Amino acid sequence: MTTAQTAPPPSMRLRELVFGAACAAALRAAARLGVADALGDGPMAVEDLAAAVKTEPKPLRRLLRALSCYGVFAEQQDGTFTHTDMSRLLREDDPNSLRAISLWCTEPWTWGAWPRLDEAVRSGRNVVEDLYGKEFFVYLNEDAPESADVFNRAMTTSSVQSARDVAEFLDLSGSSSVADIGGGQGHVVASLLEKYPSLHGSLLDLPRVVENADPRLRAGGVLADRVRIVPGDCREAIPVRADVYIIKNILEWDDDSTARTLRNVIEAGGPGARVVVIENLVDDTPSMRFSTAMDLLLLLNVGGAKHTTESMVARLTDAGLVIDGIRPVNPYLHAFDCTVPG
């Protein structure tokens, strides 16, 4: 029986770390094969599981054995395998599924980019344009449509899950209107409108994004009469007036783009407007391994960066906002609650 190990000596831990790609590849393989979906609630023999996912039993056992070392699946004394809390997150039907994220973070382009991290650190710029000859999202949409589809599914899944947490976290009981800036398909504003029946909302994002807005917000949707969908680029202008502006996970660009977005929000809202900025932080201890890894991935693909608390505070105050409080939304997101001064 293989179990997750704890506190190995430094020499062994370093050996494990340099084989980190094996763990990522094993997670990707399990997700692509649908192993977690095929494994039921009780123990299952490898032979039966292999038949269900159309693989050979022996290599499948090797895959499961490797993952069980990290607490993803568990091997029993009789050689059968069962789910763990982590392996269930690879199921497509789990309400907190991370299957799409697991695939996105291990897409083929990442295996070409990671070995060039030293180049990105030396230059401070992304390596994707040199590697693939195009800006990252242009490359995805033109040359890697399957990867672009994985990205869209991963972002949608992540947004739906975090939107629930944001809606539960935010108290908008004294507000009549909210604007989700760069809000993607509008899962956050939709969740807030469901929570507050008298609230009106706006969703602003690029035209190609908002045309696929949450069905609840589009014509005929249950929330359509209380929302305005605005195609646009928040770095250029924000033609939306609201009591509260939400900016979630978009201030990862270069400093100029971040400054322009914040300036546009301040101009749109005017004195007294509330601005809630929600971001992952690289100095947030419970999620530092995740957020610092994402920070490096941003450096590789778009030349962006995650923020520390200090760097985010600096950008918000430099823009002219007054920070009223900083609180965790969930284990990996923090909210900076701000006001536009009079």
In order of their start, the domains of the chain are: 10-92 (1.10.10.10), 170-340 (3.40.50.150)
What b-and-e string marks burial along 258-280, b requiring 16 or more CB atoms within 10 Å of the CB?
Answer: bbbbbebbbebbeeebbbbbbbb
Q: Are 271 and 300 in contact (CB under 8 A)?
A: no
Per-residue pLDDT reduced to its tens digit, 113-167: 999 999 999 999 999 999 999 999 899 989 999 998 999 899 889 989 999 999 9
Encoded tokens for 158: 């992540």
CB-count burial class (<10 Å; 0-12, 13-18, 19+) for 31: buried
Q: What are phi and psi of 317, to 5 degrees?
A: -70, -35
Range name among 77-86, 190-199, 296-305 with the lowest pLDDT average: 296-305
- The per-residue pLDDT for 238 is 97
- The per-residue pLDDT for 256 is 87
Per-residue pLDDT reduced to its tens digit, 217-248: 999 999 999 999 999 999 999 999 999 999 99
Residue 5 in this model has a pLDDT that exceeds 70 = no
Compute the Cα dihedral for 192, 220, 182, 308 and give only its sign.
Answer: positive
What percent of the chain has a predicted confidence (pLDDT) above 70? Answer: 98
Alpha carbon distance 106, 19 (integer Å): 15
pTM: 0.86
Residue 299 in this model has a pLDDT that exceeds 80 = yes
- The per-residue pLDDT for 1 is 53
Rounded to an integer, the average pLDDT of 284-301 is 91
Encoded tokens for 55: 């693989």
**Total length of the chain:** 342
pLDDT interval class at 253 (50, 70, 90) = confident
Q: Which residues lie below 8 Å from residue 281, measured CB to CB, with a gap of 6+?
A: 287, 291, 306, 307, 308, 309, 312, 334
Q: Are 319 and 266 in contact (CB under 8 A)?
A: yes
- Residue where the block lists tokens 């494994």: 39
Q: Which residue in 212, 149, 153 sits closest to 186, CA to CA?
A: 212
Per-residue pLDDT reduced to its tens digit, 73-115: 999 999 999 999 999 999 999 999 999 999 999 999 999 999 9
Collapsed DSSP state (helix, strand, coil) of residue 278? strand
Q: What are phi and psi of 275, to 5 degrees?
A: -125, 120
Q: What are phi and psi of 81, to 5 degrees?
A: -125, 145
